[in-house]
Structure 1
Amino acid sequence: MDLKFKVMIHVGRPVGEVFEAVADPKELSSYFTTGGASARLETGKTVMWDFADFPGAFPVEVDKVVPNEKIVLRWEAAEGELVSDKGIDIKPAGYQTTVTMWFKPTDDGRTLVEIEEKGWRDTESGLKGSYGNCMGWSQMLAALKMWVERGINLREGAYK
């Protein structure tokens, strides 16, 4: 089985503004990487993402960026499951998954953002890891929408 998923959301802002909210480290750190993002997402760079509610920054390899259209990332596969009293218990899996984000303008001036992640091993722990990341990317999209449209950080206090 090919373990992968795709999630999506419509954001009520033009594609350039939504793309920048992901590519720009200051913007991304305002609603998602709340412990900080080390640099702008640019083709060939490795950036560090940190989450205030999850200890330790980790590398994100940026494979490709097409401004206002697509971002392709690779990072260490996370195999683990949700632990209610500590947040997410993630175990490094020793291989990478690929995340592709598409930014598509709509006729009414909004942006459709789609995120696909693929590459987990076809194992019980790979399946659990994919479910956890599916949840995480779904939450990222909701947080992105609220940040870009309303200036509200949905992650604040959500995982502590």
Structure 2
Amino acid sequence: MELKFKVAGRIARPVAEVFEAVVNPDHLSRYFTTGGAKGRLETGVTVYWDFADFPGAFPVEVVAVEENRRIVLRWEANDGAPSDGEAAVTASAGYSTTVTMEFEALEDGRTLVTIAEEGWRETPTGLSASYGNCQGWSQMLCAMKAWLEHGINLRDGMYI
């Protein structure tokens, strides 16, 4: 079974504003990367995201950015060491998952944001990590909606 997921939500703001809220580190730091984001999301760069509840900035490779349409990222899977019995080729090195964010302008002026992530090892730790990230991306969508529509930071004090 391939470990992957997709979450989506509608934000009552124009696509350009919603897209900018993700690619701009100053905006992203206001509602999601509570420890700060460093670097604008642009194709081919590596940026750093930090979360107050998961301290320590970590690299995020920006694979592709299509303005107001799509962002593709790669980052460390963070699912722990491979379990005994897995192929030796995966035993010593970490690996990355791929995150794809899509932005669709809706006829009523809202934006549909879809976030998909894939690429975990098919292990108990990979499954657990995928569930954790699914939760995290769902929370990101909720936090972005609250921030952009109402100026409320849902993550402030939620985890620590």
Q: Which runs of 5+ in 2 are unaligned?
A: 81-92
Aligned position for 2:16: 16
Aligned partners of 1:149 and 1:5: how far apart in 2? 26
Match of 1:59 in 2: 59
Match of 1:133 in 2: 133
- 1:28 maps to a residue whose letter is L
* Structure 1 unpaired stretches of 5+: 81-92
Structure showing the higher strand proportion among its residues = 1
Report which of the two structures shows the higher radius of gyration computed on alpha carbons.
Answer: 2
| TM-score normalised by the chain length of structure 1 | 0.91
Query: Post-superposition shift, 1:74?
Result: 0.1
Corresponding residue number in structure 2 for 1:2 = 2
Structure 1 vs Structure 2: percent identity of aligned residues? 68
Distance 1:55 1:141 in 2: 21
Within 5 Å, which residues of 2 pair with 1:97-112? 97-112=97-112
Residue type matched to 2:65 in 1? V
Task: Report the alpha carbon displacement of residue 37 of structure 1 after superposing the two structures with TM.
Answer: 0.6
**What is the deviation of 1:58?**
0.2
2:95 is paired with a residue whose SS is strand
Task: For residue 78 of structure 2, give the secondary structure of its aligned residue in structure 1.
Answer: strand
Partner of 2:40, secondary structure, is coil
Q: Within 5 Å, which residues of 2 pair with 1:1-150?
A: 1-79=1-79, 94-150=94-150
1:127 aligns to what SS in structure 2?
helix
Distance 2:102 2:131 in 1: 20
Q: Deviations over 1:91-122 (max 9, x none)?
A: xx810000000000011000000000000001
Deviations 1:64-101 (A, max 9, x none): 00000000000000226xxxxxxxxxxxx810000000
Structure 2 length as normaliser, TM-score?
Answer: 0.91
RMSD: 0.9
1:52 to partner: Cα distance: 1.4
Distance 1:155 1:78 in 2: 21
In structure 1, give the amino acid aligned to 2:112.
L
In the alignment of these two chains, the number of paired residues is: 148
